[in-house]
């Protein structure tokens, strides 16, 4: 009969450490950060120490038909903005108000949408979901992070400083865009994916009726700036009251569409060609035209001197014939030719 196993004694659990009561602060200690002894280093507190209150989330995606440069620009913005989210490309046939539903499903309240047309024109939408306002820009002069000109570098997920041109406070539509840029591009404090460092700055400058975007690294040694990238220029088209539509709050009078710009370029080239053709036709007409005869100058007779008249002589006798001089070398040449023929026949 098999022997019965004795029940094993349960393993002893480790005792919990007793919580110590917080010691009372010394009277000489300063309030705030803990005092550090000389020769020791203080470790910064974790990022999650504070409470994440500003829960801004930005959806960054595009329509179908974008080129490689736009795709790299979109990826660079996602890298620099830890509070952003990505989504699949949207079909061109879909209406723009569908983006509001996509943002709600992704739990985002801001949106950056890149719209490509004719595989060469790029438009950017910045919108506040779902109430609005929204702004439409034409994107020009795009340069990405991977280009050799951008020698700067920054910590991934660090929070940026936002620097604005003083012209943003002078006109109301620029003030509205400034608030939109602040809410979209600024990383919320204590965001889970962000780092507690500020080592780069986003610059928005207004020049030539356009907004120029630059990203610079702040070097700690001498506080100088080195460009990181990306860089692009935003040409404002319209500002709408709603999200991706609604009443028009502002329309840029200086905006010129890319189609109109290309048409003017073609017309200027055609005008130059037409001008060259007209010059050639004028030159041909001058060559084919009849020459204008100048009137005779009566003063030219002054310098004419009459020649002396010679008497006319009539020759009655036949002129003597010249003697024929025979070529003495000719018979010798004939004799040589005969000798050569005989030599050939004998051979």
Surface-to-core class of residue 331, CB atoms within 10 Å of its CB (0-12 exposed, 13-18 middle, 19+ buried): exposed
Assess contact for 198 and 159: CB atoms under 8 A.
Answer: yes
Spatial distance between the Cα atoms of 319 and 246, rounded to a whole number of angstroms: 118
More confident residue, 125 or 346: 125
- Whether 1 shows a pLDDT value over 50: the answer reads no
What does the pLDDT read at residue 40?
Answer: 74
Walk me through the domains of the chain, giving residue ranges and CATH numbers. 58-261 (3.40.50.10480)
Assess contact for 196 and 121: CB atoms under 8 A.
Answer: no
Q: How confident is the model at residue 203 (pLDDT cuts 50, 70, 90)?
A: very high
Distances (CA, A) of 234 to 23, 56, 203: 58, 23, 13
Assess contact for 207 and 213: CB atoms under 8 A.
Answer: no
Task: Tell which residue, 61, 65, 147, 50, has the closest CA to residue 106.
Answer: 61
Average pLDDT value for the chain: 85
Per DSSP, what are the bridge partners of residue 85?
59
What backbone phi and psi angles, to 5 degrees, belong to 30?
Answer: -85, 145
Q: How confident is the model at residue 35 (pLDDT cuts 50, 70, 90)?
A: low
Spatial distance between the Cα atoms of 21 and 159, rounded to a whole number of angstroms: 37
What does the pLDDT read at residue 29?
Answer: 43
Mean per-residue pLDDT for 175-196? 93
Residue 284's H or E segment, with its range, is: helix 258-288
DSSP state of 285: H
What does the pLDDT read at residue 271?
Answer: 95
Mean per-residue pLDDT for 37-49? 62
More confident residue, 263 or 48: 263
Mean per-residue pLDDT for 181-190? 94
Mean per-residue pLDDT for 201-212? 96
- Whether 61 shows a pLDDT value over 80: the answer reads yes
pLDDT of 137-159, one tens digit each? Answer: 999 999 999 887 888 899 999 99
More confident residue, 109 or 308: 109
What does the pLDDT read at residue 32?
Answer: 46
What does the pLDDT read at residue 325?
Answer: 67
Mean per-residue pLDDT for 266-273? 95
Distance of CA 222 to the CA centre of its chain: 31
What does the pLDDT read at residue 317?
Answer: 84
Tokens for 171, please give them.
């006109």
Of the chain, the percentage scoring pLDDT greater than 90 comes to 55
User: Model-level pTM?
Assistant: 0.68
3-state helix, strand, coil in the chain (%, to 5): 30, 25, 45
Mean per-residue pLDDT for 262-286? 93
What does the pLDDT read at residue 185?
Answer: 96
Surface-to-core class of residue 149, CB atoms within 10 Å of its CB (0-12 exposed, 13-18 middle, 19+ buried): exposed
Distances (CA, A) of 137 to 235, 310, 345: 5, 100, 102
- Whether 37 shows a pLDDT value over 70: the answer reads no
Spatial distance between the Cα atoms of 10 and 235, rounded to a whole number of angstroms: 75
Mean per-residue pLDDT for 88-116? 93
Of 61-70, 245-254, 334-343, the least confident: 334-343
Residue-wise DSSP of 56-105:
--EEEEEBTT--HHHHHHHHHHHHH-TTEEE-PPBPTTS-TTHHHHHHHH
What residue has token string 């019965």? 4
What residue has token string 């739990």? 107
């Amino acid at each position: 009969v098999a022997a019965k196993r004795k029940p094993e004694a349960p393993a002893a659990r480790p005792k919990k450490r007793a919580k110590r009561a917080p010691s009372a602060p010394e009277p000489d200690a300063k309030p705030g950060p803990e005092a550090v002894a000389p020769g020791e280093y203080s470790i910064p507190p974790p990022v999650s120490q504070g409470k994440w209150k500003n829960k801004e989330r930005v959806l960054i995606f595009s329509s179908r038909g974008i080129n490689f440069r736009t795709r790299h620009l979109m990826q660079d913005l996602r890298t620099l903005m830890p509070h952003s989210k990505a989504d699949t490309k949207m079909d061109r046939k879909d209406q723009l108000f569908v983006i509001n539903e996509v943002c709600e499903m992704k739990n985002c309240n801001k949106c950056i949408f890149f719209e490509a047309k004719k595989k060469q024109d790029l438009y950017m939408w910045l919108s506040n979901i779902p109430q609005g306002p929204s702004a439409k820009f034409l994107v020009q002069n795009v340069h990405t992070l991977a280009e050799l000109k951008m020698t700067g570098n920054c910590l991934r997920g660090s929070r940026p400083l936002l620097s604005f041109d003083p012209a943003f406070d002078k006109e109301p539509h620029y003030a509205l865009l400034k608030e939109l840029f602040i809410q979209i591009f600024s990383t919320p404090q204590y965001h889970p994916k962000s780092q507690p460092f500020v080592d780069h700055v986003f610059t928005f400058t207004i020049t030539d009726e356009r907004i120029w975007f630059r990203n610079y690294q702040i070097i700690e040694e001498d506080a100088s700036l080195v460009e990181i990238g990306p860089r692009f220029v935003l040409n404002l088209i319209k500002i709408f009251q709603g999200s991706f539509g609604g009443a028009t709050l502002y329309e840029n009078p200086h905006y010129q569409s890319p189609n109109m710009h290309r048409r003017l370029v073609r017309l200027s080239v055609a005008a130059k060609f037409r001008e060259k053709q007209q010059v050639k036709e004028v030159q041909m007409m001058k060559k084919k035209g009849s020459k204008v005869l100048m009137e005779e100058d009566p003063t030219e007779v002054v310098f004419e001197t009459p020649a002396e008249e010679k008497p006319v002589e009539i020759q009655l006798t036949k002129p003597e014939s010249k003697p024929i001089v025979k070529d003495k070398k000719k018979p010798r040449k004939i004799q040589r030719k005969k000798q050569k023929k005989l030599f050939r026949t004998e051979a």
